[in-house]
Structure 1
Amino acid sequence: MPVTRNSATLTLGGIVLAALLAVIGHAGVDGLDPLSLTVSDYAVSESGGAIHLAMLTLAAASAVLVLGLRRLDRPTGAAGTRRGRVGTAQVLVAAWAGGLLLAGLIPTNPPGTEMGTAAYVHRYASVVAFLALPLAGWLIAAQLPATARTARWLRGLTIASLLLAAVMVWSAYPGDRAYYGLIERALILAEVALLTVLATVGGRVGAVTPVRGA
């Protein structure tokens, strides 16, 4: 199987716990608009500790998945190409996990205040994370049969994530931050769904086998 059952279970459990913590963090905040303000803006509120913990939990769950992805690296077919893809995907998932870790440890500035060094670190760590995971998903999809449902989901979620990231860039600059918070939450949902699909690949023994000669 591409990812061990233990890795899949730990990753999925971390995703569920992170989602629960994020909901708790949002529910404990009053007076903020989720349509225009980001999750990071909520995280620096008085009740934002749960959101920071959610980021750290998701980072830890993703780090477990990095180790599990090694099982995709089998010496069959064009082994050099396959190993290059899997190795790159592992680096990208690690970059996603590292970006989440930094974003969880280093908060942004409160809404309406000037950005400092910490806020810039938080912002660009988030950018790296948001871009790295979709690319990893695309590479892992290339390791699976083209007709496999998992491969189709990974490609679809990758495209959705990159499109939403582009919309976020538009909103941040020429769009005058219109619906910025809503777009970011849609992007987060797409990427967490992608991470979930990556984890569930290993939950089905023998359901998918790596494509040969790819």
Structure 2
Amino acid sequence: MPGTRNTGVVALSGIAVAALLTVIGHLEVNDDLNPWALTISDFAVSDRGGVIDVAMVVLALATVAVMYGLRRTGPPPGRAVDLLLGAWVAGLLLAAVVPTNEPGTAMTTAAYLHRYASVVAFLALPAGGWLLARRDQLTPAARWLRGLAVASLVLAAAMMWSAYPGERVLIGLAERLLILTEVGVLTAVALVLARSGSSTRVVAV
């Protein structure tokens, strides 16, 4: 379906732009910030309203394009997938709008809201990816979706351990690996949509 292909291409373009903006954001911030010890949100708050915040919004919009493309391939993905992908989108947008605290300062109410929005997003996307692996349309990417979903959940657990009992040891590294796997989930789905050439019967989740 041409419309589905176009939606996949739009999603892939959005993912690529978000990745580029994130790299630019890392290069623009203060050289004293350590990417292995600090999260991407720590970088973003040092350049409030900068390209990293924009990258989160772009990634959320790319996800919306993926959701739209999935609906064009057949029956709706199902309420569970809609809720999980919707939670990822909402978490990204909320994290972009509500900043975390500056590194080394006390947590504020806004910072806690930012943190828990991020946690919800990080857990929702791999769960949604796992369910999407059951769709006939996404059979070519099913193994990737399941593998990336499991890797994302393992890395999310590692990040949460670092954030609490681990005293933030390598939290930046864990988060960046987590984001890579989660963006990989979106990319796998978008690639299948972009390569879609005909309508296929889809099993709703």
TM-score, normalised to structure 1, is 0.86
The aligned residue for residue 191 of structure 1 is 182
CA deviations over 1:36-63 (Å, ceiling 9, x no partner): 1000000011477111111111111111
**Helix, strand or coil at the partner of 2:141:** helix
What is the alpha-carbon distance in structure 1 between the residues aligned to residue 15 and residue 50 of structure 2? 17
Verify the 8 A CA contact 1:142 1:151 in the aligned structure 2: yes
- Of residues 154, 161, 176 in structure 2, which corresponds to 1:170? 161
What is the alpha-carbon distance in structure 2 between the residues aligned to residue 7 and residue 53 of structure 1? 21
CA deviations over 1:150-178 (Å, ceiling 9, x no partner): 00000000000001001111112222211
**Helix, strand or coil at the partner of 2:169:** coil
What is the alpha-carbon distance in structure 2 between the residues aligned to residue 208 and residue 161 of structure 1? 30
What is the alpha-carbon distance in structure 2 between the residues aligned to residue 60 and residue 213 of structure 1? 23
**In structure 2, what residue type is equivalent to 1:86?**
G
The aligned residue for residue 126 of structure 1 is 118
CA deviations over 1:100-129 (Å, ceiling 9, x no partner): 001011111100111111111111111111
* CA shift for structure 1 position 8: 0.8
Structure 2: which 5+ runs fail to align?
none
Provide closer, same or farther for how the CA distance between residues 52 and 92 of structure 1 changes in structure 2, counting only shifts above 3 A. same
What is the alpha-carbon distance in structure 2 between the residues aligned to residue 134 and residue 143 of structure 1? 15
**Helix, strand or coil at the partner of 2:196:** coil
The aligned residue for residue 92 of structure 1 is 84
What is the alpha-carbon distance in structure 1 between the residues aligned to residue 182 and residue 113 of structure 2? 21
What is the alpha-carbon distance in structure 2 between the residues aligned to residue 90 and residue 47 of structure 1? 30
What is the alpha-carbon distance in structure 2 between the residues aligned to residue 39 and residue 96 of structure 1? 16
CA deviations over 1:144-203 (Å, ceiling 9, x no partner): 389x44000000000000010011111122222110000000000000011111111211
Identity across aligned pairs (percent)?
55
The aligned residue for residue 34 of structure 1 is 35
- Of residues 132, 152, 159 in structure 2, which corresponds to 1:161? 152
What is the alpha-carbon distance in structure 1 between the residues aligned to residue 199 and residue 133 of structure 2? 11
TM-score, normalised to structure 2, is 0.90
The aligned residue for residue 139 of structure 1 is 131
What is the alpha-carbon distance in structure 2 between the residues aligned to residue 139 and residue 209 of structure 1? 18
**Residues matched between the structures, number:** 204
1:115 aligns with 2:110: no
What is the alpha-carbon distance in structure 2 between the residues aligned to residue 47 and residue 138 of structure 1? 34
**In structure 1, what residue type is equivalent to 2:60?**
A
* CA shift for structure 1 position 72: 4.3
What is the alpha-carbon distance in structure 1 between the residues aligned to residue 84 and residue 186 of structure 2? 12
Provide closer, same or farther for how the CA distance between residues 210 and 169 of structure 1 changes in structure 2, counting only shifts above 3 A. farther
The aligned residue for residue 63 of structure 2 is 62
Higher deviation after alignment, 44-53 or 25-34: 44-53
